[in-house]
Amino acid sequence: MSDVPPFGFGPPDRDPERREPGKEGDPAGDPFGLGALFGGLAGGGSPEDLLGKMPLFAELQKLMSWSGGPVNWDLARQGAISQLAVGHQPTSQAEQTAVAEALRLADLWLDQVTELPSGIERTAAWSRVDWVEKTLPAWTELIDPLAEKVVAAMTSALPQEAAMSFGPIAGIMGRMGGLMFGAQVGQALGKLADEVVTSTDVGLPLAPAGTGVLVPQNVADFAAGLDRPADEVRLFLALREAASQRLFAHVPWLRQQLQDAVHAYARGITIDREAIERGITEAMSGMEGGLDPSNPESIQQLLGSGVLEPEETPEQQMALRRLETLLALVEGWVDTVVAESAKDRLPGHSALAETMRRRRATGGPAEQTFATLVGLELRPRRLRDAATVWGAMGQRYGSAERDRLWSHPDLLPTSDDLDEPLDFVARQDLDDELASLTASDAEQPSAPDTGDDDTPPEENPDDGAEKRG
């Protein structure tokens, strides 16, 4: 589990190894990206005055009119795409053709190692900007409930005196929250778009249903320095995308379970009101000049001080543990079936798989996404344990029995099971034996009905004992 709380709520030095506090554009020094938006207010004057007088704030006023939910997705989209302006390459027809052929061949190979049929109805080669724009609906569905709870908890926990201290900004705090979250989500999506190679690279299905996707520009970057042919790297990544698409297409509850785990975390977001009151008093006493309503930098300092950090409840810890386990099981299954399908066909499979493992261990897209937006880091140890389960299940029982575990969420290994993955596999023998015995008992014929109504009822042994006594 990550030490990074959702949407950057927390003290600036929460994770010093990942961040350099005070660095421009860094969430530690500027947790919500407000420096660029509100830095001009530091000289004094209310936001309302400046919004009407400066061209910069005319655009800001437009952003502040957002009413589409707790995250300003217009700002998120603009922020993400602006990061991609330099070096962005649209996809060519040749790339579209190459991606389609790679995904078609990947599906043919996977047919031989898994009972789950293809989940791809159409193929696409996306640019980085395409990835941002076409995955926004999925991000909206995932993130809005979380952001809504954070905003509600933050607002309800503020003591009345502190709320009054915000002065003229108090009336726009809700939309300010939308801006803050929009800026941070946009920054996260822009960084992801620079490196994701498929539509399922973060562990979730982000493309429209039935669409298999590669991002050719990022595939080329992934292949750089690997000393493997470009078509081999493309096919390896196509195998991963096609395998993920099979799971999400034919395990109907999986997508919903992943979303439910995130939303269960959101439902549990609370903030300790008494701790807030103590923290605000301490934070304000440590601020030079206190909390100045005309200087949003002091408000930003308060927001980043950690006093508004949501408490993590046991229920939330369970939700995050469930999410972590599901993501690990998906990734481990993909690793397993891709290895089986490619081991005798792709000469560089081992090197490519190792590159993917190193990429995850150093913080790939899934880790970055959930650490930033959910407060979760997907631990590589869980992925190795999950892959051990799937590999051992296939070797011991065959691919059909291995994939049968996806038929119901209760059949999957739990987080505790992943602590001892081979024990879980061994228990399947016992479960099968018990199921067989139960079925045999159910099939035993009952005593025939003779139809003789004069047959006396069976004596109760206790009654007979009383008579004999």
Calpha distance 305→17 (Å, rounded): 18
pLDDT digits (tens, 9 = 90+) for 389-420: 999 999 999 999 999 999 999 999 999 999 99
Residues 6+ apart with CB under 8 A from 269: 6, 146, 149, 150, 153, 310, 316
Judge whether 330 and 254 are in contact, CB under 8 Å. Answer: yes
What integer pLDDT is reported at residue 149 of this predicted model? 78
What is the reported pLDDT for 42?
36
* Count of C-beta atoms within a 10 Å radius of residue 236: 27
Residue 87 region by backbone torsions, left for phi larger than 0, else alpha for psi between -120 and 50, else beta? left
Q: Residue 373 domain-assigned?
A: no
How much is the pLDDT for 157?
58
Number of domains in the chain: 1
Residue 441 placed within a domain: no
Q: Quick one: 130 exposed, middle or buried, by C-beta within 10 A (0-12, 13-18, 19+)?
A: middle
Name the stretches of the chain with pLDDT < 70: 1-68, 153-176, 270-311, 364, 366-368, 370-380, 430-469
Yes or no: say if 46 and 294 are a contact pair by the CB < 8 Å rule: yes
pLDDT value of position 22: 40
Residue 438, in any domain of the structure: no
- The answer as to whether 450 is a domain residue is no
Quick: pLDDT tens for 30-89: 333 333 333 333 344 444 444 444 454 555 566 566 666 788 898 899 999 999 988 889
Is 258 within the bounds of a domain?
yes
In contact, 296 and 41? CB cutoff 8 Å: yes
81 in a structural domain: yes
| pTM of the full structure | 0.76
End-to-end CA distance of the chain: 70
Query: How confident is the model at residue 132, as a pLDDT?
Result: 96
Does the residue 420 lie in any domain? no
Position 137 in a domain = yes
Residue 267 host element (H or E): helix 254-267
| Secondary structure element (H or E) that encloses residue 439, with its range | helix 421-443
Q: Domain range for residue 281?
A: 7-326
Residue 432: per-residue pLDDT: 63
What's the pLDDT at 18? 41
